A and B are shown apart, each in its own frame.
Chain A
Amino acid sequence: MEQKKYWKGLEELHNTDAHQEIVKNEFSEELPFESEGLLNATTPRRDFLKYLGFTTAAAAIAASCETPVRKAIPYVNKPEEITPGVANYYASSYSIDGEYVPLVVKTREGRPIKIEGNTLSSITQGATSARVQGAVLSLYDVARLRFPSISGTETTWAELDKQIGAALAGLGGAPVVLLSSTILSPSTKKVIGEFLAKYSNSRHVVYDAVSYSGMLQANEASYGKKVIPSYHFENAKAIVSLGADFLGTWLNPVEYSKQFAQTRKINAKKPEMSKHFQFESTMSLTGANADERYTHKPSETGAVALALLAAVGGSVTAPALDGRLKEGVAKAAKELKANAGKALVVSGSNDVNVQLIVNAINNIVGANGTTIDFASPSNYRQGIDSDMAKLVSDMNAGSIGAVLVYGVNPAYDYFESQKFVDGLKKVKLSVSFNDRNDETTELCKYVAPDHHFLENWNDVEGRPGYYSFAQPTILPLFKTRAIQDTFLTWAGNTAAWADYLKNEWVSKLGGQEGWDKALQDGIVEPATAPALGGASFSGDVAGAAAKINSAKKGGKYELVLYEKVAIGNGKLSNNPWLQEMPDPITRATWDNYACVSNTLAKTFSTQLGDDYEINAEKKVLKIKTNGKEIVLPLLIVPGIHPEVIAIAVGYGRGEKVGRAAAGIGKNAYPLVSYNGQTFDYFAIDATVEATGEKYPLGLTQTHNSYEGRPIVKETTLEEFIKNPKEVNEDRLELKKFGPDFRKDGTLYPNYSYPGIKWGMSIDLNTCFGCGACTIACQAENNVSVVGKEEVVKAHEMHWIRIDRYFSGDENNPEVVFQPMLCQHCDNAPCENVCPVGATNHSSEGINQMAYNRCIGTRYCANNCPYKVRRLNWRDWNGADSFENNLYDVADMNDNLTRMVLNPDVVVRSRGVMEKCSFCVQRLQEAKLDAKKAGHPLKDGAAKTACQQACGADAIVFGNINDKNSEIYKIRNEMQTERLYYVLEETHVLPSISYLAKIRNKDAAPKAEKEPAHKEEAHHA
């Protein structure tokens, strides 16, 4: 099979001069001398000796200072359940903005340090996402509000209650409005109800920053139910997504990743997988994983839906579409019809008419009751856009008495934020319960900060009857108060929230025992899952079609707003881990930008400039639409529609939300518009001009070059069924060395691994590139945050990166995600070159790194074919002997933030190399538990952080000497056809195997034109 050409970016595809230069100089780095004077001094030798003498003396003095006296301070009265040094786990729940993720929280010495998914939940089955993993850091955010305040001055809760009580009483019947995002907690809603019942005309307005109102309203019009159904991707053989990024940001991606992955697991014995079509304007994470992907302008969204409806047999006429799109719709429709009853169409549109057409398609292809469940729908989003619009106009009319803001930030993310701000000024009483002094909270007179969810009790209802619970994992860090307690107090109910919730559930579950079990399990679910239920479709298809057909045609350029996988709607944006997580598609950190196609980029420059790909400095564009403008750097994203500009929301936060988020990127929410019914997250007529300025972006894509080596393997389903072994044909070449490449491919003796031999397998077919593993690893292993400036210098520290490769047509490329981490080679090139023996091999096959031996020569990193070793170029953690070396751009070294550090893993100091350790602390703990219990290590007892976080179970880890382990079975029984090792022919003997990607498509798309030059130009 011919090796496909993969490229990380257009610079590599076109092999520009600058790309050749950067590949050539990949390992050289300007020394970070701050003064040039030293090197240019007239007597550099003498100066050198002087510096040498001084530093030696200084180091000697620093090192020989007296050993500090340390204290050991025991508890006065030790809590029974805490043993210092032993972790406790508590079940909890993540339900921010309507996402539903049951959790298990690891606490050490009373502080939460790591979040895992709760495997008992049948909905998420233990999956997590990057944002969920990062939530533990938000608990220790130094920008959190620490006390209640009135007009910006600290006050007591009693005083606040008194004043607000008086203010509420003095409203004179003017309505009280609670403005919140989607709340999944039934008991919280009950408390809110109790409070609101005290005031006439009061109401609860649900406002979702990124709204699904169109879907709710369309479902009401189609089925008479204003709900979002539950989706069952696992039952679908044909999936068509019309711009829904269900693996990245759509509704509850954690749940859908788990389901979707079940349809993508494949082996030669059962060569079946779902077929996934994606129609979208920008390049989303889901689009990148699609088998067939087609792009269209946002103004054509409705037309695509209509055409699909017509193609599956709906009684509408298909609007005109361009050739390729038309072909795609026909293909998708054919697949949907062929898999009727096992088909699913989802749409990311917030337009009622589009969603109604999608409902009609689903109705025809028999999705209702099979892949879409209306019997137990999802509660994930509840906001109706018109309610919010009405509230804002009511506020401006002066008819609202009080606005209580809980978990929303309309002054930042409402499309007409100024109108909201003006309205808020006309409201007599404004209260914010938000956790930080954000754009809205700043404007509220009273601030009554709520607990972080890890400090609070709660119940969360993802679907009716499916509950997950939250319990405090730490005492409140600050003088905050649970919002439920606040409402209970204001409602005159003297019960404490903890008791209130407990009483609710003790009576529901029939006793204390039931409640205890619910808290221990973290979930309560129906004993038998209720059967999936459909709903009868009665939508006005003709009406919707007419409205779609009469919609305005787009202008020259169109604009799409999207959520980034890591940052989402921006609520969690003051999270350095998430800010520094490279975006799965663009590989950019710390910013938002205008994503454009190569075609569009060329219009701002006569040719593809290296400044777009190699240099951090990017051309800045001014984009205008609907009378608003935004100035952002340009970033070329292969695969985006040529006439579309995509901008991420969630950036451009105010100065007071915290150091990591403040001043990063630009706020794109003002570009949202309101169509009288729902918010539109696109604009159909935009103008673009270059400002002539440049702005640096922290891109990680060009930091390493794989230099054209064959490291990704893929095939199509058709070919895999025909000849499963074909994808690994090149492995046969290794046979020339002898039957056992491990032994026969080398002159050196073969080492045996007598007890345990760790190994990992990564399935490229189910790695969707979401980045949950990256953040999980960062949390588990105290991986440092370096900041944008250092990312530009390729100094980012992530132990596991997800390489994204494009192949094929540069305007609609195929994408592969390949998680890359230390391969723990049994014949490791890094080990041979270390002059101090700081990295060497263990008898369990781990490539060990002894930080305290490392002197930072970087020989190992330069000799690593996988480029996974990371040097601490600066002192990110304050681990140096010299205090003032600390380099911290995001408050990661505040005593508060440092509470998130895993005490079992050291922080590394400057000048030390680090890399993935296979989470050796977890392996050691699992082994110790087995030793203490006196039985051999059980498969699954030791899990790496990345493996545990992966929602798609793409990572399998275990002892390959154990013939009953999953990893052994994958390697020797289940996946022998797809299994390969990256750069196996070099005989470095990696411990990580990959499973080749399989695309469910007819044939690889032909590149539209040949690349400008050939492979051999590549770094000879």
Chain B
Amino acid sequence: MYRRVSILLRKHFVSVLILCASIVIPFSSVKAAADPAKGKAIFQQNCASCHSVTKKLTGPALAGVEDRWPDKKLLHQWVHNSASVLASGDKYANDLFIQFNKTAMTAFPALKDEEIDDILAYIKVAAVPTASTPTPGGETGTAEDKGNDNSLLFGIITLVLAVVALILMQINSNLNKLAGDKEGVATADPVPFYKNKAYIAIGILLLFMVGGYFTINGAVGLGRQKDYMPAQPIFYSHKVHAGINQINCLYCHAGAEKSKHAMIPSENICMNCHKAIKEYSGPELVTAEGKKVNGTEEIAKLYDYVGWDPEAGKYTKPGRPIEWTKIHNLPDHVYFNHSQHVVAGKQQCQTCHGAITEMDEVHQFADLSMGWCINCHRTTKVQFADNNYYSIFEKLHQDIKDKKIDSVTVEMVGGTECQKCHY
């Protein structure tokens, strides 16, 4: 037996060796050779504004760049300081320079050779088209609460009990009648329950209460648009921008720090990135109705609005504004200031707008009712100790010192008074 094994081992020694090597070698070579992951980071930081791996932007597409350059050393030198290569009279470099309208490449003297190799490794990896979709980053969706709603059960129990009560009452009246008959007391025939005035009164009362409840709820809810999710002129995905690509909300909604309006970004803000990003390659986009969306076409819509010709790389016609459908509408008699909440109150956008980084299409997360505002103002704490503005509230500071209260809510500094929002 032992022998057989040894023979087998011997027989397969080569393949085992290869197997082991194939496990070990990549590991060891990772340490020594270029790291595409590192390279990606460096690429995005330094190169992506002018280069794409697969497309021609300001600079050439970088796929196969190592093969095109005669010498890796020269390539390193080019990245460090392209002017010196040009000056050396290298033919390939000079041809390239002329081909790209004599736009000089930015010099990166600080990049180490290893780092450049990392980039090159990344380019190699990225040049191979992959089928797998990148997994979206960020938080996971909120767990949906199901089965916690007991109202149906309670309803059934109530209904059963009501029927039982009804039967018992009928029995009671029948027994009374029987007892009466037995004792020779004449009793009137029982009135059928649908003619019984007490039942009718109870029925009307019930109807009135239930009807009133729904009418009032409906009336209060008039004009509220929770979950409002209109189709927009461009399928703009917050999930792609703010979620996957982690763009700071305030990059586009710059007004949120300065103004009452968060501001829908002007088109020139879009073009800061989309001059370079012409194609969509993220996860598949699907509308709420289940229709597939071609992201690249949506980017093309932006180009059409703004009048940009991606081929020529310049603006060719005057831009038109995009008429977005406003989702979060407050009534005219409400004054709301974003900067108050973002800067002074240090609130996250998600507090009111929900998991925006998860939304392909934005919907209204909160009902934006006055009760909702007030509830938040009652429970949210102001930056009482950190913001010197509140130093004038001497009594509250004393109360904190005296441990009468541990924090100060918006309400305690007048945040639920009428003329904080209505004027």
The residue from A67, A76, A852, A853 contacting B306, defined by CB atoms under 8 A apart: A76
A840 to B418, CA, bound (A): 8
**Given A756-B392, A840-B418, A921-B423, are A83 and B259 neighbors across the interface (CB < 8 Å)?**
yes
Known A-B contacts A69-B325, A71-B325; the reply to A752 vs B395 at CB < 8 A is: yes
Give Cα A72–Cα B323 distance, bound, in whole angstroms.
6
Taking a contact as CB atoms closer than 8 A, the residue among B266, B419, B422 that contacts A78 in the complex is: B266
- Say whether B381 faces chain A, with CB atoms less than 8 Å apart: no
| CB–CB A83/B387 < 8 A | no
B390-423: which have CB < 8 Å to A?
390-396, 413-414, 417-420, 422-423
Which of A671-679, A702-710, A924-932 is near enough to bind chain B? Answer: A924-932
Is there contact, CB below 8 Å, between B255 and A83? yes
Residues of B within 8 A of A83 (CB): 254-255, 258-259, 263
| CB-defined contacts of A843 to chain B, threshold 8 Å | 413-414, 417
Interface string of B257-296 (1 = CB under 8 A from A): 0111101111111000000000000000000000000000
CA distance A454 to B260 in the complex (A): 26
Q: Does A904 contact B (CB under 8 A)?
A: yes
The answer to whether A71 touches B422, judged by C-beta atoms less than 8 angstroms apart, is: no
Stretch at the interface among B53-61, B104-112, B119-127, B314-322: B314-322
- Bound Cα distance from A70 to B418, whole angstroms: 26
Whether the pair A931, B321 counts as a contact (CB closer than 8 A) is no
Contact A75 B418 (CB under 8 A): no
Name the interface residues of B309-355: CB closer than 8 Å to any CB of A. 319-326, 329, 331-333, 335, 337, 339-340, 343-344
Contact residues of A between 896 and 938, Cβ < 8 Å to B: 904-906, 917, 920-921, 924, 927-928, 930-937
Report which of A70, A84, A752, A844 forms a contact with B263, defined as CB distance below 8 A: A84
How far, in angstroms, from A932 to B345 measured CA to CA in the complex? 9
- Asked if A74 meets B321 with Cβ closer than 8 Å, knowing A906-B332, A920-B419, the reply is yes
Which of B134-142, B152-160, B189-197, B222-230 lies at the interface with chain A? B222-230
Bound-complex Cα distance A64 to B224 (A):
11
A846 x B340 contact (CB < 8 A): no
The distance from the CB of A35 to the nearest CB of chain B, in whole angstroms, is: 31
Known A70-B326, A73-B323; contact A924-B264, beta-carbon cutoff 8 A = no
- Residues of B contacting A961 with CB < 8 Å? 392
Q: Give Cα distance in the complex from A73 to B340, angstroms.
A: 23
Query: Which among A75, A754, A927, A936 is the interface contact of B391 at CB below 8 angstroms?
Result: A936
Please measure, in the bound complex, the distance between the C-alpha atom of A83 and the C-alpha atom of B340, giving whole angstroms. 15
Among B266, B332, B423, the residue within 8 A (CB) of A75 is: B266
Interface residue? A604 (CB, 8 A)? no
Q: Does A749 contact B (CB under 8 A)?
A: no
A73-B321, A935-B389 known; A755+B222 contact, CB < 8 A:
no
Closest B residue to A851 using CB positions: B333
In this complex, how many residues of chain B approach chain A with their Cβ under 8 Å: the count is: 55
Q: How far is it, in angstroms, between the C-alpha of A662 and the C-alpha of B225 when the chains are bound?
A: 47
Contact A842 B266 (CB under 8 A): no
Q: Could you say which of A71, A77, A78 contacts B324, with CB atoms under 8 Å apart?
A: A71
Say whether A85 contacts B419, CB under 8 Å: no
Interface status of B45 (Cβ within 8 A of chain A): no
B230 touches A69 (CB 8 A): yes
Q: Which of A86, A853, A937 contacts B259 (CB 8 A)?
A: A86
**Measured between C-beta atoms, what is the minimum distance from A162 to chain B in Å?**
30
- The dominant DSSP class at the B interface is loop
Q: Which of A736-786 contact B (CB under 8 A)?
A: 752, 754-756
B260 surroundings in chain A (CB, below 8 A): 85
Smallest beta-carbon distance A186→chain B, Å: 39
A266 to chain B, nearest CB (A): 32
Q: Is A549 interfacial (CB 8 A cutoff)?
A: no
What class of interface size applies to chain A in its complex with B? 35 or more
**A962: interface (CB < 8 Å):** yes
Q: Does A20 contact B (CB under 8 A)?
A: no
A931 touches B325 (CB 8 A): no
- Asked if A852 contacts B266 (CB within 8 A), the reply is no
Let me know if A755 and B392 touch, CB within 8 A: yes
- Tell me if B259 and A75 are in contact (CB < 8 A): no
With A63-B222, A76-B266, A931-B340 as known contacts, state yes or no: A848 contacts B323, CB within 8 Å: no
Contact A84 B261 (CB under 8 A): yes
In the complex, chain B residues whose CB is within 8 Å of the CB of A752: 395
Chain A binding site: helix, strand, loop or mixed by DSSP?
Answer: loop
- The answer to whether the Cβ of A850 comes within 8 Å of any Cβ in the partner chain is yes
Complex contacts, A70 vs chain B, CB 8 Å: 325-326, 329
CB-based contact B387/A848 at 8 Å: no
| A853 and chain B: residue at smallest CB distance | B418
Q: Complex: how many Å from CA A809 to CA B12?
A: 130
**Considering the chains assembled together, what is the distance between the CA atoms of A932 and B260 in angstroms?**
13
Interface: B388 (CB within 8 A): yes
**A77 B319 Cβ-Cβ under 8 A:** yes
Q: Which residues of B contact A904 (CB under 8 A)?
A: 335, 423
Given B225, B322, B339, B422, which contacts A74 in the complex, CB threshold below 8 Å? Answer: B322
Q: Which residues of B contact A917 (CB under 8 A)?
A: 419, 423
Contact A932 B344, beta carbon cutoff 8 Å: yes
A75 in contact with B389 given A754-B396, A842-B419, A920-B419 (CB within 8 Å): no
> B351 to chain A: closest CB distance in Å?
18
Complex Cα–Cα for A527 and B293 (A):
67
Nearest residue, chain B, Cβ from A927: B389
Judge whether A77 and B267 touch: CB under 8 Å.
Answer: yes
- Closest chain B CB from A231 CB (angstroms): 41
Please name all residues of chain A whose beta carbon is closer than 8 Å to the beta carbon of B422 when the two chains form the complex: 848, 850-852, 906
A752 to B394, CA, bound (A): 12
- Asked if residues B222 and A64 are in contact (CB atoms below 8 Å), the reply is yes
Q: How far apart are B275's CB and chain A's nearest CB, in angstroms?
A: 14
Complex-state Cα separation, A63 to B224, whole angstroms: 12
CA distance A842 to B337 in the complex (A): 19
B225 in contact with A85 (CB, 8 Å): no
B-chain residues with CB within 8 Å of residue A937 when the two chains form the complex: 389, 392
- Write the nearest CB–CB distance from A502 to chain B, whole angstroms: 27
Residues from 14 to 48 in B contacting A, C-beta threshold 8 Å: none
Instruction: Provide the residues of chain B in CB contact with A842, threshold 8 Å.
Output: 414, 417-420
Q: Specify which of A72, A755, A920 is in contact with B423 (CB 8 Å cutoff).
A: A920
For the complex, give the distance between the alpha carbons of A853 and B421 in Å.
13
A905: chain B residues at CB < 8 Å are 423
Closest to B307 in A: A76
Contact A844 B266, beta carbon cutoff 8 Å: no
Q: How far is the CA of A920 from the CA of B389 in the complex (A)?
A: 18
Q: From residue 210 to 237 of chain A, which have CB atoms closer than 8 A to chain B?
A: none
What string of 1s and 0s marks CB contacts (under 8 Å) between A41-79 and chain B?
000000000000000000000011001011111111110
Interface string of A823-854 (1 = CB under 8 A from B): 00000000000000000101110101111110
Q: B268–A928 contact, CB under 8 A?
A: no
- Residues in chain B near residue A935, CB distance under 8 A: 388-389
Tell me the B221-250 residues at the A interface (CB within 8 Å). 222-223, 225, 230
Residues on the A chain within 8 Å of B331, using CB: 852
B interface footprint on A935-968 (CB within 8 Å = 1, 0 otherwise): 1110000000000000000000000011000000
Contact A85 B222 (CB under 8 A): no
B-chain residues with CB within 8 Å of residue A849 when the two chains form the complex:
418-419
Asked whether B266 lies within 8 Å of A77 as measured between CB atoms, the reply is: yes
Closest Cβ–Cβ distance, residue A841 to chain B (whole Å): 8
Residues of A within 8 A of B320 (CB): 76
User: Would you list 25 pairs from A and B whose C-beta atoms are within 8 A, ordered by A residue?
Assistant: A72-B323, A72-B324, A73-B321, A74-B264, A74-B321, A76-B267, A78-B269, A84-B255, A85-B260, A756-B392, A842-B419, A849-B418, A850-B419, A850-B422, A852-B333, A904-B423, A906-B422, A920-B419, A920-B423, A927-B389, A928-B339, A932-B344, A935-B389, A936-B389, A962-B392
**Nearest 4 pairs between A and B by C-beta?**
A85-B259, A78-B266, A76-B319, A75-B266
8 additional A-B residue pairs with CB within 8 Å, beyond A755-B390, A848-B418, A921-B335 = A72-B323, A76-B321, A77-B268, A754-B395, A755-B414, A904-B423, A905-B423, A921-B423
Residues of chain B touching chain A, judged by Cβ–Cβ distance below 8 Å, are 222-223, 225, 230, 254-255, 258-261, 263-269, 305-306, 319-326, 329, 331-333, 335, 337, 339-340, 343-344, 387-396, 413-414, 417-420, 422-423
